[in-house]
Amino acid sequence: MARTALLSVSDKTNLVDFAKLLKDLDFEIVSTGGTKKVLEAGGVDVTGVEEVTGFPEMLDGRVKTLHPKIHAGLLAKRDDPDHMKQLKDAGITPIDLVAVNLYPFRQTIEKPETTEAQAIEQIDIGGPSMLRAAAKNFADVLTIVDPNDYQPVIDALKAHSDDNAFRKHLAAKVFRHTAAYDAIISNYLTEEEFPDQLTLTYEKQQSLRYGENSHQKAAFYRDPIPSKLSMITKQLHGKELSFNNIKDANAALNMVSEFDDPCVVAMKHMNPCGVGTADNISQAWDEAYESDPMSIFGGIIAVNREIDAQTAEKMHKIFLEIIIAPSFTDEAFEILAKKKNIRLLQADLSHRDQPDRFETISVSGGMLIQESDHQIDQIPDFKVVTNAQPTEQQLKALQFGQHIVKFVKSNAVVVTTDTKTLGVGMGQPNRIDSAKIAIQKAMPKDGYEHAIMASDAFFPMDDCVEYAAQHDIKAIIQPGGSIRDKDSIAMADKYGIAMVTTGVRHFRH
């Protein structure tokens, strides 16, 4: 007995071959518009959907398949005698297979020149309706939304293995697809920052070997329309990225993107262990490496300039997990690729001023969402609150410290010059311990005599200022805002330290 397949696709990949294989399995083919033309051109005998419905397409193609003779044919339960009688009485043929993929809404809105009216015309109505109807009735109707499923469906039909589990798998894929499609449309049309219902969708980028630890399963999903500054990078060399690699690389990429001058960021466990800027990337590497030669071992490196051979030779001398750069010279790539496992990633930093606007964090039973911290504190906004005034070099160092401290886990205190980190203290339950860690790591290093200290939040007591003064720190930057600010200011005045406040806190939990 002949069966009926309805084919109506935007993506014509392998369409004609699939239809011919269905014909070999005694399927009658029903189709619409452009799909019908492609099939006919390919030599496939096709019945137009208007011949089934007895009703022509109308409203510029907005209405083609929205008709009882289509949807009853999809929704009728074959094991329900009453359903089948109603179909017979109405002269409706059951539809046994549906292959539909939807108008290219996402691809349309990705084009900068697309108007809202053009985008709206790419909102598919009939396609999702047919898919959802067929998927609801998956016990009787095979649903296909992905051309990659054409061959598995043919194989299952030939082997008579299109059982309930197989059909349910395809139906679930349909509902994921239509949900994702609607999510992209709703996000495009939504103007509220935090709507009452937030529907997000992601596409699987890759399975990961494991998560944070080897006993945890994991996968990497991408935003279907990622921001211009994105961890959807091009991997040029090396073994597969891990869960922790991706987190660290993302932190390093976001950090290095904030610097205008040639910059190198070394990241370990979501914290910078070395940051350097200079006139060229090779010198910037020297500054970053000298910041913490021990911690940089096994680190994730992000740079905002092309990596040349001179820089690559220096990097090659130590073990590094990942290097992210806008590009590599051929010679630099050849040098670095001598190590088979190092991951070399190419990232587009030309749109560094277009990072993600929001960031999300999962919690038990829900999710937090907030605007990303893209605040860059500028020298003209600094407020000097002490008798001592910062020098021009100290002001540059204070601004550099602010760039760094916002990417360090709270409680965060960093000691820097105007070109490199000297010591980083992070993640301590009290601020004085973070200050002690940063200063003790900084003290032996060249440039310490020009060091400043930056804090991500205000000083609740004057102990951090006193400890800094006792270790020859000459300038401090912090948000201010504590009820005991006057104590910290007084301590700074006691030791002749220049202190500036920004009024902006940069917690990173």
Catalytic residue among 173, 247, 269, 450: 269
* Closest listed residue to residue 424, CA positions, set 275, 252, 251: 275
Residue/partner pairs of 433-441 with CB below 8 Å, 24 or more apart: 435/464, 435/467, 435/468, 436/467, 437/413, 438/413, 438/414, 439/415, 439/467, 439/468, 439/471, 439/473, 441/292, 441/415
Which residues contact residue 9 at a Cβ distance below 8 angstroms, ignoring those fewer than 6 apart?
A: 15, 35, 99, 100, 101, 147
Contact status, residue 143 vs residue 177, Cβ threshold 8 Å? no
Check whether the bond before 187 is cis (ω within 30° of 0). Answer: no
Catalytic residue check, 436: no
Of the listed 83, 136, 173, 314, which one is catalytic? 136
Helix axes 164-189, 126-136, angle to 10 degrees: 150
Q: What Rg do the C-alpha atoms of the chain give, in angstroms?
A: 30
Please list the alpha-helical segments (H only) found in 198-353.
243-256, 281-291, 309-316, 330-336
Active site residue 136: yes
- Give whole-number Cα distances, 347 to 231, 249, 297, 306, in Å: 8, 11, 22, 11
Beta-bridge partners for 3: 27
- Cα–Cα distance, 320 to 316 (Å, whole number): 8
Task: Determine the Cα–Cα distance for residues 333 and 72; give it in Å rounded to an integer.
Answer: 60
Residues 6+ apart with CB under 8 A from 503: 381, 383, 479, 480, 481
Strands of the sheet with 320-325, listed across from one edge: 234-237, 343-346, 320-325, 299-303, 263-268, 271-277
Tokens standing for residue 199: 């529907």
Listed in sequence order, the residues at least 6 apart from 447 whose beta carbon sits closer than 8 Å to its beta carbon are: 417, 420, 422
Active-site residues, by number, are: 136, 269
